[in-house]
Amino acid sequence: MASTNPRSYEPTAPRKLAFIGLGVMGYPMAAHLALAGHAVTVYNRTSAKAQAWCAEYAASAAPRQAPTPREAAQGADIVFCCVGNDDDLRAVTLGADGAFAGMAPGSIFVDHTTASAEVARELYGAARALGLRFIDAPVSGGQAGAQNGLLTVMCGGDQDAFDTVQPVGMAFARAFTRMGESGAGQLTKMVNQICIAGLVQGLAEAIAFGQRAGLDMPLVLDVIGKGAAQSWQMDNRGKTMVADQFDFGFAVDWMRKDLGLVLAEAQRNGARLPVTALVDQFYGDVQQMGGQRWDTSSLIRRLR
Ligand SMILES: NC(=O)c1ccc[n+]([C@@H]2O[C@H](COP(=O)([O-])OP(=O)(O)OC[C@H]3O[C@@H](n4cnc5c(N)ncnc54)[C@H](OP(=O)(O)O)[C@@H]3O)[C@@H](O)[C@H]2O)c1
């Protein structure tokens, strides 16, 4: 399993927490909560991952594995979650074995999945009807951000629930910010993905052009990376794009899921996203090339 790099944590009162979904992101996020001194009960659909997590963090405050989301959520003050998409989120929250069925009135569900603003509002309403609270809280910063406990978290929901969650969630975050009412976290994440899509295509075109022109591209990136063309993508992905390495990072399948959410939201709010729609199709080409799990910087493969 992906390792977690412990960091220093601001002291907070120890809480009873649950974490649902120990994937690439959830596994280290849950680990930071345990290392910060909270009692964490975990649930993962594939139980071997939850077993491995409990074994790895046995020395921290009482790690426990539960067989269903409902049982994981029982007695927890805050239930964190990071699964794949809208349907996965409904599967772990609703129904007889869903987390909502186990949560006590007043407790808070915090969803870190990148999902639609619609499902966030739907679950916010379902939680309220049960006397529960719900925060949508997608993250940016990737696997490394999760492992280092330095994610950027964008939240939507009620201020009082956010105020309870924020100091606890800072165990895996560099910033944990309320953006507005329910759904505002997911909408902020969509803005983030729109920014990235066009930028990565521009970087891919620039690097492919420079390589055809016979330039020393690592040197070019070092030089222009100190000027106005600098970006996180250039700093963190430029040289691996030059070297044609994509077996890491944020998978194209996830990006297509995210751009699908973005384009559906734009249909509703009337925003025009011509470049984002085009880049979404380019990612479709990369999937056809077998790049479903390649990093999003693999857009350059279409240009070679
Ligand atoms: N990876 C990144 O760099 C990154 C960055 C920012 C945001 N995100 C977002 O974070 C979310 C998780 O990403 P990830 O990379 O951690 O994904 P992942 O490694 O595929 O993990 C997904 C987790 O969700 C669980 N899951 C999926 N469907 C489920 C269902 N129907 N019922 C119960 N559990 C279910 C999986 O359980 P199993 O172990 O049983 O499969 C696994 O624990 C996604 O929404 C992604 O877009 C990812």
CATH number at residue 248: 1.10.1040.10
Answer yes or no: is 261 within a domain.
yes
The answer on 157 and 196 residing in a single domain is: no
Which of 181, 215, 247 is a domain's end point? 181
Which of 155, 181, 207 is the C-terminal boundary of a domain? Answer: 181
Cβ atoms of 200 and 297 closer than 8 Å: yes
Distance 294 CA to ligand 1 centre (A): 16
pLDDT of residue 62: 78
Based on the fold, state whether residues 140 and 264 are members of the same structural domain: no
Could you identify the residue written with the tokens 């977690």?
4
Q: How far apart are CA 4 and CA 85, in angstroms?
A: 24
143, part of any domain: yes
**Which residue segment(s) compose the domain that 203 sits in?**
188-303
- Write out the two tokens for 283: 């990612």
Residue (of 299, 179, 186) closest to 250 by Cα position:
299
Residues 120 and 164 both lie in one domain: yes
Rg of the chain taking only CA atoms, in angstroms: 20
83 lines ligand 1 (CB under 6 A): yes
- 135 — phi, psi (to 5°)? -120, 125
* Protein residue with least CA distance to atom 24, ligand 1: 83
The minimum-distance atom of ligand 1 relative to the CA of 49 is 39
H/E run at residue 255: helix 252-269
CATH of the domain at 139: 3.40.50.720
Q: Is the CB of 32 under 6 A from ligand 1?
A: no
Q: CA angle at residue 161 from 159 to 164, to 5 degrees?
A: 110
Q: Is 257 a residue of the active site? A: no
Atom 32 in ligand 1: which residue has the minimum CA distance? 88
Q: Among the three residues 181, 196, 228, which one is the final residue of a domain in this structure?
A: 181
Burial class (CB in 10 A: 0-12, 13-18, 19+), 129: exposed
pTM over 0.85: yes
How many domains, the chain?
2
Count helices and strands in the chain by DSSP H and E runs: 13, 9
Helix, strand, coil shares of the chain as percentages rounded to 5?
Answer: 55, 15, 35
Pair (90, 163) in one structural domain = yes
Does the Cβ of 210 fall within 6 Å of ligand 1? no
pLDDT at 127: 98
Q: Is the CB of 82 under 6 A from ligand 1?
A: yes
> What whole-number distance in Å separates Cα of residue 243 and Cα of residue 217?
10
Structure tokens at 248: 């890491």
Q: Give the Cα separation of 151 and 144 in Å (integer).
A: 9
Whether 293 is in the pocket of ligand 1, judged by its Cβ within 6 Å, is: no
Structural domain contains residue 294: yes
Residue-level pLDDT, tens digit, the chain, 304 residues: 557 998 999 999 999 999 999 999 999 999 999 999 999 999 999 999 999 999 999 888 778 999 999 999 999 999 999 999 999 999 999 999 999 999 999 999 999 999 999 999 999 999 999 999 999 999 999 889 999 999 999 999 999 999 999 999 999 999 999 999 999 999 999 999 999 999 999 999 999 999 999 999 999 999 999 999 999 999 999 999 999 999 998 999 999 999 999 999 999 999 999 999 999 999 999 999 999 999 999 999 999 9
pLDDT at position 287:
98
98, 43 Cβ separation under 8 angstroms: no
Q: Is residue 176 part of a domain?
A: yes
pLDDT for position 94: 98
